Chain A
Amino acid sequence: SQTIHQWPATLVQPVGSPLSLECTVEGTSNPNLYWYRQAAGRGLQLLFYSVGIGQISSEVPQNLSASRPQDRQFILSSKKLLLSDSGFYLCAWRASGSVQYFGPGTRLTVT
């Protein structure tokens, strides 16, 4: 069966510090991968998605970036965090069809 992992589960970072969140998927090959952010009291905002290794599509211009160095690994990064980057970050995967399956999420607090 397929499993999606995200780490860390929680993170507190000062403004201006770098960020690296990692997501890995097990039990499937060549999945589509997605990064979402849920800000406090808001819906799910799609940040990036990838249909293959090295292929990244950005949905929202901001100081975040994404990379996919391996088929089942998706990384979200920032060189300098802003207060507005605080939120709940979710990784998701899709193999076929339209259903996306989400990881447990990372709670990021920028102080």
Chain B
Amino acid sequence: DQQVKQNSPSLSVQEGRISILNCDYTNSMFDYFLWYKKYPAEGPTFLISISSIKDKNEDGRFTVFLNKSAKHLSLHIVPSQPGDSAVYFCAASGNEKLTFGTGTRLTIIP
């Protein structure tokens, strides 16, 4: 049972435009949501997070939106830069653990 889903395995965006990565979850007990960025052969790095009591959190070019009624969160990157090309994982927190989605490979086209 996959509790956290990223239905788009890949996404290509022109440099300077907005990148939108999506994530859906099924467990309403999750209380915190996170996005990680991962380059090949490296560990994931924490990007941005949001508590379940909020609907938006912003940090520079990165904004995460949470729609609890739809059990959906999204990561917006504006403007997209070539260095943003990586795999992005969403994760949901509950019971001392994180449950990860399968990732979306973002490619920024110069």
Contact = CB atoms under 8 A, between A and B. Distances in A.
B43 A103 contact: yes
Interface stretch (B13-21, B62-70, B74-82, B94-102): B94-102
A98 B49 contact: yes
Contacts of A100: 46, 98
A43 B103 contact: yes
Interface residues of A, number: 25
Chain B residues touching A, majority SS: strand
A105 B40 CA distance: 10
Contacts of B34: 98-99
A36 B100 CA distance: 10
A11 to B, nearest CB: 13
B102 A42 contact: yes
Interface residues of B, number: 22
B54 to A, nearest CB: 13
Contacts, number: 52
A42 B31 CA distance: 24
A105 B102 contact: no
A81 B32 CA distance: 36
A44 B97 contact: no
Interface in B1-60: 31-32, 34, 36, 41-46, 49
B93 interface: yes
A108 interface: no
A44 B49 contact: no
Nearest to B32: A98
A43 B46 contact: no
Given A98-B32, A98-B93, A104 B43 contact: yes
Contacts of B89: 43-44
A88 B101 CA distance: 16
A92 B89 CA distance: 15
A49 B96 contact: yes
A46 B97 contact: yes
B81 to A, nearest CB: 22
Interface of B: 31-32, 34, 36, 41-46, 49, 89, 91, 93, 96-103
